[in-house]
Structure 1
């Protein structure tokens, strides 16, 4: 084994039985495992965050099958590389192609390869960090019988990998005497956040940076803490995981789970994109809190503007206030749902002419066109509400249509009572 190869590369699983984690995808009880063990490898797409085992799983599948194996990256491979794969398949009858970053597959590559995937002479394993239903060409996707989403490895899976690397004398660090404690390995496993590559790279860096005493490498707590603190664990900024974090944040606030919302906020802040986080928080204020607590929108905007002036790390303070406030506030989506209903009705052709008395009358000749009859509500007082008159505002064809359904939550309960009262006036 070349000494220049990183530990993470050397410790890739050689067969399916060496794969750590991903039991739901490739465990011994899964249909995919049984198919591959029985000699049938289907074309598939592997989707997930960096470092969770897409490439390793592809190599493990190759090691378990008897097919000739070729690995390419879609960002650097050209038409000739694909033609070489096709030539190999003609010589051997069938070839297993691993294509990393498959979402970057260009049309020329596709046109060259698609017929051979179709006839089974090329078995494709594509890997991507992006959602394949959004970013992988449908022509490729339709030819893959399996689309598998891989998950981050658990702490137990990470520890299995770390111990395997420490014990393996052929590919790992087993030939060295290394004094490292269970607590230190726990630190590495936790800091790597389910990313096997980071865990093994971190372990290798710690061993390389440690001093040797009496023939043994002695790992110090201070060194582990120092190197662990440098490990980025927050995913691919602007990739699918980033948008999954934004989605999880909004759903946690909508579900009033303060702790979960703060957890996802922390991840997003550590990604360094203050703009995206701020934009999403402002959307939530109006989409999910809405009329139940109208004061929240301006308060969240003030928190965002404060965060922009402060910059990180102090920006986290006003944003934390905004997140907790929205989590514990009453919730309503009635206003924007009503608008969406109106938009949908317009697209469905449910429209009508603007009543004559509502049309613009601020010019000479408007009266001749029939733009008359409008009653000024401020001239007719209704208790403490202000002014109101019973006149038609919707087009005649739509009179009686309702888009808004008020929710009896927070401040909107008061607004709902006014809405219903005004509706009752119309009926009279």
Structure 2
């Protein structure tokens, strides 16, 4: 039986790894390890299909060490013993241990001395946060690297390689892949390269060639092979941006049902990165100071969704959307900073007052820098009136809260109180 395309296209050397350039790019940490032949055990964590196994395979290929793959949950201590025996014979074995967060103590205790000796270079792979899920004894003996979701460009590069590679890929099939089919393959698999490549192979091998032997892959074929409709597949088109815009405006308008509808469309398109980015923007732009607790919960929900991936990611995303839609709203923070930026762009800057300038160097006092600064923590309430704005901007006011919640009303009252106290204090000087 032929191995799947994703397996056949695994990189043989570090230079063939798609994406993860923060780890394997020129001069980056894993690349330097391989170049210097100074490998150490590591844990790679990140979403499925983003290259954890590929990096391990590439390290082995670049160093010519033996490479073995085991699963911490399903493979036994006996399997680990076989790897250890091989390491004693050959000198070094690179062991990719998948689902390392499920490693039990018996297997851990067996592995530890082999990690210490360097006979086994362990590369643990997990979708879980290793700081929370990996046993401390293993964690302390490994370096931890985050593997990030593949970008659109990364996915395109990998697909092109698979279509043109005649040795390991689909280069002999004379494939024509429509643009909308290619986009669906990238977006609907949500950065999971394994799913994208295996879906592509199924599409190619199950499609009848034309009379000239060419295989034409359409959007409909890709939808069928990966079992996901292109609800908003055209990421560069108006339809996609319209749905994103509608999601934000529905949350801003506190229409929970409409917000859930547009969220569902983006989920069906498999567009987790844009959902994550947009919900964090909405949280700070439209809810902001009216409900800081909900803002933080939304950010946590988004981070959880990114760790889980689809389909489970839909659950924390729904929590975030419902809370954001039902929360009090305030755009006072974005309005304040935008007004401050607009004034700066019009030349509204001015010199920093001397008493606020850096005084941590010899000669600062001769320039009058920091001399008259009053330390607020040395006064009742940790506050004292003194000028902070440049002379030409004294009296400027950017923060204009409406007080749409008890929280923001408290901020509004405190802001007004401090401004008045500041003005009164400066007048007395």
TM surpasses 0.5 = yes
With over 3 angstroms needed to count, the CA separation of the structure-2 counterparts of 1:247 and 1:212, relative to structure 1, is closer
- 1: CA distance, partners of 2:176 / 2:114: 52
Answer whether contact 2:49 2:192 (CA < 8 A) is retained.
Answer: yes
Partner of 1:119: 117
Structure 1 or 2: more helix by fraction: 2
Q: 2:61 aligns with which of 52, 55, 63?
A: 63
Query: Is the Cα contact below 8 Å between 2:50 and 2:192 reproduced in 1?
Result: yes
User: Paired residue for 1:76, among 69, 74, 77?
Assistant: 74
Task: Describe the superposition over 1:389-426 as per-residue Cα deviations: whole angstroms up to 9, x where unpaired.
Answer: xxxxxxxxxxxx9xxxxx9943426679999xxxxxxx
Equivalent residue for 1:255? Answer: 284
**1:140 and 2:138 equivalent?**
yes
Residue 89 of structure 1 contacts residue 121 of structure 1 at CA under 8 Å; is this kept in 2? yes
Q: Is the 8 A contact 2:180 2:218 kept in 1?
A: no
Pick the structure with greater CA Rg. 1
Instruction: Name the structure 2 match of 1:86.
Output: 84
The 1:250/1:192 distance shift into structure 2, 3 A limit, reads closer
User: 1:39 aligned to 34, 37, 40, which one?
Assistant: 37
Q: Is the 8 A contact 2:48 2:127 kept in 1?
A: yes
1:104-133 deviations in whole A, cap 9, x for unaligned?
111001111101111222211111110000
Q: CA shift at 1:269, angstroms?
A: 12
Contact 1:166 1:173 in 2 (8 A): yes
Equivalent residue number for residue 10 of structure 2 = 12
Matched residue of 1:211: which SS? coil
Partners of 1:254 and 1:331 within 8 A in 2: no
Counterpart contact for 1:330–1:410, Cα < 8 Å: no
Q: Name the CA distance, whole Å, in 2 between partners of 1:22 and 1:82.
A: 29
Task: Structure 2: give runs of 5+ residues left out of the alignment.
Answer: 234-262, 264-272, 288-294, 334-380, 382-400, 415-429
> What value does the CA root-mean-square deviation take over the aligned residues?
4.1
Q: CA deviation at 1:7?
A: 0.8
Look up the match of 1:410: 404
The Cα offsets for residues 227-275 of structure 1, whole Å up to 9 and x where unpaired, read as 45528999xxxxxxxxx999989855541358x9799699999736877
Q: Could you tell me the TM-score, scaled by structure 1's length?
A: 0.60
Partner of residue 302, structure 1: none
Aligned equivalents of 2:309 and 2:174: distance in 1? 40
Query: Are residues 216 and 120 of structure 1, via their aligned partners in 2, closer, same or farther at CA, if it must alter by over 3 Å?
Result: same
Q: Is 1:207 aligned to 2:204, yes or no?
A: yes
Q: Determine the structure 2 residue equivalent to 1:154.
A: 151
Q: Give the whole-Å Cα distance in 1 for the aligned partners of 2:136 and 2:185.
A: 39
Deviations 1:317-369 (A, max 9, x none): xx4xx53453734799xxxxxxxxxxxxxxxxxxxxxxxxxxxxxxxxxxxxx
Residue 32 of structure 1, CA deviation: 2.1
In the alignment, what sits opposite 2:392? none
Task: Specify whether residues 173 and 136 from structure 1 end up closer, same or farther in structure 2 by C-alpha distance, changes over 3 A only.
Answer: same
Paired residues of 1:254 and 1:327 also in contact (CA < 8 A): no
> 1:176 and 1:409, CA in 2 relative to 1: closer, same or farther beyond 3 A?
same
Q: TM-score normalised to the size of structure 2?
A: 0.59
Which whole-Å deviations, capped at 9, do the CAs of 1:288-340 have from their partners, x for residues lacking one? xxxxxxxxxxxxxxxxxxxxxxxxxxxxxxx4xx53453734799xxxxxxxx
**Distance of 2:151 and 2:171 partners within structure 1:** 23
1:53 and 2:93 equivalent? no
Size of the aligned set, in residue pairs, is 297
Going from structure 1 to structure 2, the CA distance change for 1:88 and 1:161 (only over 3 Å counts) comes to same
- C-alpha distance in 1, partners of 2:274/2:109? 35
8 A Cα contact 1:330 1:409, kept in partner: no
